[in-house]
Every structure is written in structure tokens, then in C-alpha cells.
Amino acid sequence: MDTFVQLYDGFAVALSWQNLLLALAGCFLGTMMGALPGLGPANGVAILIPLAFTLGLDAVAALILLTSVYYGAMYGGRISSILLNIPGDEPAMMTCLDGYPMAQAGRAGEALALSGVASFVGAFFATWGLVFLAPLLVQIALLFGPGEYFVLYTLAFATLGGIAASNQAKSAFAAALGIAIAMIGVDTQTGVQRFTFGEVHLYDGIDFLIAIVGLFALSEVFVFLENRGSHEGGKDSGKMKIGRVTPSFKLLRYCTPTMIRSTVLGFISGVLPGAGASLGSFLAYSVEKQVSDPRSETFGKGDPRGVAAPEAGNNAASGGALVPMLALGVPGSGTTAVLLAVLLTLNIQPGPLLFQNNPDVVWGLIAALFIGNFMLLALNIPMVGLFTRVLLVPTHILMPIVAMIAFIGIYSITGSTFELSMMVGFGALGWVLRKLDVPLVPIILGILLGNEMEVNLRRAMTISNGEWTALFDSWLAITLWTIAIVGFVLPIFLGKRVKKKMKQAEEEGPLSD
């Protein structure tokens, strides 16, 4: 009951005109930033920090503005994934897989609206999770030692086979390429430089945003440049249908189990420090695929559940990531790392004592999250029609804009031209890989998760003095290993059965209809 009283007080703080306006502005700006490729939630929040200080906002107001931007960006990331096949931020990557095919099939409006609802469900329940489970979840996060983290990341890679339906070998190659790229930079466990060739820009490794924007956005531009002569650029744009802009009740009910599963998974990934929203949307998608479509019949071809799962997952993760940030002072994702810095600058010390020392800040923030969620839902559903107009922009106008946004986005983060050339390099790489039909998503996963996987393995090994048994000596580790093995083996057998069925179907011919 105590919790509700505190939450009520929180609403009293959040429901002032100033704070409501800030939340609205934050939600709108966040959605826009999330939609722009390159500018993700972390940069969005970072860019607005000076604004919060210049306006002279107090701690609660500043946090409300910035977390609204955070949630807004998590909503907005899906827009360009669905419409352009370019993820607006890294967690929205998985939404491309089924969102873009849906848009191509003339269901862009539906995909946007459905993903908006899924985002809302994920974020809304994650916020409730934050209210009730924060103290408890901190205890769970403490069960994860380096060994358990290693197994968790292994699990993510093991289930990769479930994602890439077409060619397992090519996706394995892509993942390996991603992990190789992740190795660049100073190795924190020894202080030794790896693959930097004495180039100081490479010491910190390659920012995955550069890789994402290059591989997805720029390679798209290159493909367009290549095809311009033959296609005249007009074929796909003008005729693309938008479809209905509200999801039918039937579709929502159809996707409800998906959203529930994904919310739970996403929230848990968010709570784990360092894992974050990308792992949340990834796990949500791959588990959903194993559960509802183990034979790879509809996923990747525009299955609405493939849109709902990652969106519910990544928005739930963004709520979950606030748990370790507020309760432990440990950021669970890139964006919460920036928010943590804001808290410190505002003289608020996150950590075990925050809930006691600054209850007004915590509960005001949580109330603002609830309000922001409803605002985002209200903003996003009517605006679907507006967003989809993007599709009506002719490609020969859209593509230069994409290129421009990519350059501005990356330069605004890094402030250096070296990264711009690197991004162009990734664009060229993406173009080549597309020609070879190598999937791009595993590369990004390799870059995102490869480093963490390696670092945690080595931490575990150092702590155990090189005893490999350290990776199996807790029930949690063994459970995770079991899931990883099942997730890896199952698609192989199921895949064989599917092929058999397909053969049978071919032989039976029209009778199977």
C-alpha cells in the first residue's frame, strides 16, 4: 500500500503544467530523434542535456524532460525501420526484419500502429515492473557473475540460427565478422591494443552506431545509386500502398500473447546491467520466432508478430534498464549511462539509497513515465498517417536526405571526420555483403555483444584461475546453457522436418491446397 501512496505523491509532482508540457515536448522530440537514423536515444538525451540546464530546470523537471526523450526515442526508432528498412536506433534493428516486408506488402500503416501499441504495452508494464520489483530485481541482477553473463551472451549467439532463416553459414560468417570488428581497440583486460595499427581513433574500438548507420543507411543509398539507371527510381515509391492506419482489434488480440512474452523477456534483459534494449529486442524476436513460427514460414516475410515482439521487447527493456540505474547506480544501457551522468550533475546520487533520500525524484520520475507513455501512444497512433507520407516521397529525394542525416548524425556524436570515412567504409562493406546475400543483422549483434561476451569470459577465467568449471557452477548458468543448447539444436532438426514437409507438399502438388 505504501507503494501506492508514494506513487500518488509522484503524480502530484508530475502533474504540474510545466512538467506536463516538458513531457509532451520530450515525447515529441524523442520520437523524431528516434526516427532519424543515427540519432538514437543516447544521443537524443545527450543533445538535450544542455537545454535542460539552460532552462534552469530543477531535478525532477529535467529528468521528466530527458526520460520522455528516452521513451520517445525508443518509440520512434521503429518508424524508419518499418518505412525505410533503416533502423532508427540499434534496438529497432530487429523491427526491420518483419516491419519492412509488411510495409512493402502495403501494410505500413498497420505495422506502425501495431508497433506503437506494442511499444506502449512493453513500456507500460515495464514501468509497473519498475514500481513493484525494483528492490527485488536488484537481487536477481546480483546473481549474475561474469560466468553467467558469458553464458547469457552465448545464448544470444546460439539462438541466432533461429533469426536468419535462409542460410545458416552466411549468418554465422556475418556474426564472426561482427565479433572480429568488436575486437578492435584497447583490450581492457590487459591494456594491450588490438588491430588499431597505431591509429588513435581506433583505440576505443568502433562505435556500433557508425557500423549501423553505415551498414544499413548508406548501403541503402549505394544500392539506390547503382539501380538508378535501370529503375528510374520511381518504381517502388509512388505506388507503395499504406493500408489502414489503425490495427484491427483482431490483429491486436492475435498479437497479445506475443506482446506479453516479449515484455517479460525485454524487461529482464533491461534489468541486467550492460545488456540493455538491444539484447531485449533481439531475445524477444528470436524467442517469439521459436515459439510461434519454428518452421520459418512467416517470420521475416512480414509477420505482424515479428513487429510486435521486438518493439514490446525493447521498450520493456528501456523501462527495465532504469532499475539498476536508479537502485544500483549501474547503467543497464547506453542511454541510462547518459541519464546517470545527468543525475550526478543534478547532485542526485543514484544507488541503494536513492529511494530513501530522494523519494520525490524517484516517484515523480516514475509517474512521469506513466504519463509519457500515454502521451506517446496518443501522439503515435494519429501520427501514423503523417509518418507514412515518408513513403510517398520519391526515392531520388529521400535517399539524399538519408545520406545527409547519416552524416550529420554521426558527426554530431563524434565530432570528427575520421568516423565519417569509417561510416562510408561500412556503407561500402554493407553494399558488398548485400550483393553476396549475407545478412547484416548478425554483424551488428557481433559488434554489440561480442565484446561483452569475451570480456566476461576472461573475467570469469581470471577469477577462477583458469578453471573452466567456473562456467557451470551455478544453477543459473546451467539453466542458461540448457536454453542455449536447445535454442541452437532445435532449429536444425525442425529445419530438416520443414524441408521434408515442403518436398512432400511439392510431390502432392495441388492436392495440398
Q: Which residues bind other proteins (CB under 8 A)?
A: 46, 49-50, 53, 141-146, 186-191, 198, 200-204, 273-274, 324, 328-331, 337-338, 340-342, 344-345, 347, 349-354, 413-416, 418-419, 455, 459, 462-463, 465
The distance of closest approach from Cβ of residue 271 to other proteins in the complex, given in angstroms and rounded to an integer, is: 12
What's at 67, amino acid-wise? T
* 308 backbone dihedrals φ, ψ, rounded to 5°: -70, -40
What's at 83, amino acid-wise? L
The distance of closest approach from Cβ of residue 282 to other proteins in the complex, given in angstroms and rounded to an integer, is: 20
CB-CB contact of 292 with 305 (8 Å): yes
Distance CA 253, CA 257 (A): 8
The distance of closest approach from Cβ of residue 366 to other proteins in the complex, given in angstroms and rounded to an integer, is: 20
HSE of 183, CA atoms in CB hemisphere, 13 A: 10
Closest CB to other proteins among residues 62, 399 = 62
Closest CB to other proteins among residues 294, 329 = 329
Distance CA 95, CA 281 (A): 8
Closest CB to other proteins among residues 147, 233 = 147
Q: What's the grid cell of residue 466?
A: 583458469
The distance of closest approach from Cβ of residue 326 to other proteins in the complex, given in angstroms and rounded to an integer, is: 11
Distance CA 321, CA 154 (A): 21
The distance of closest approach from Cβ of residue 130 to other proteins in the complex, given in angstroms and rounded to an integer, is: 18
Closest CB to other proteins among residues 345, 504 = 345
**Beta strand extents in 149-252 (DSSP E only):** 185-187, 192-194
Burial class (CB in 10 A: 0-12, 13-18, 19+), 437: exposed
Closest CB to other proteins among residues 368, 461 = 461
The distance of closest approach from Cβ of residue 428 to other proteins in the complex, given in angstroms and rounded to an integer, is: 22
Closest CB to other proteins among residues 121, 413 = 413
Closest CB to other proteins among residues 357, 512 = 357
Distance of CA 443 to the CA centre of its chain: 15
The distance of closest approach from Cβ of residue 332 to other proteins in the complex, given in angstroms and rounded to an integer, is: 10
HSE of 481, CA atoms in CB hemisphere, 13 A: 12
CB-CB contact of 210 with 185 (8 Å): no
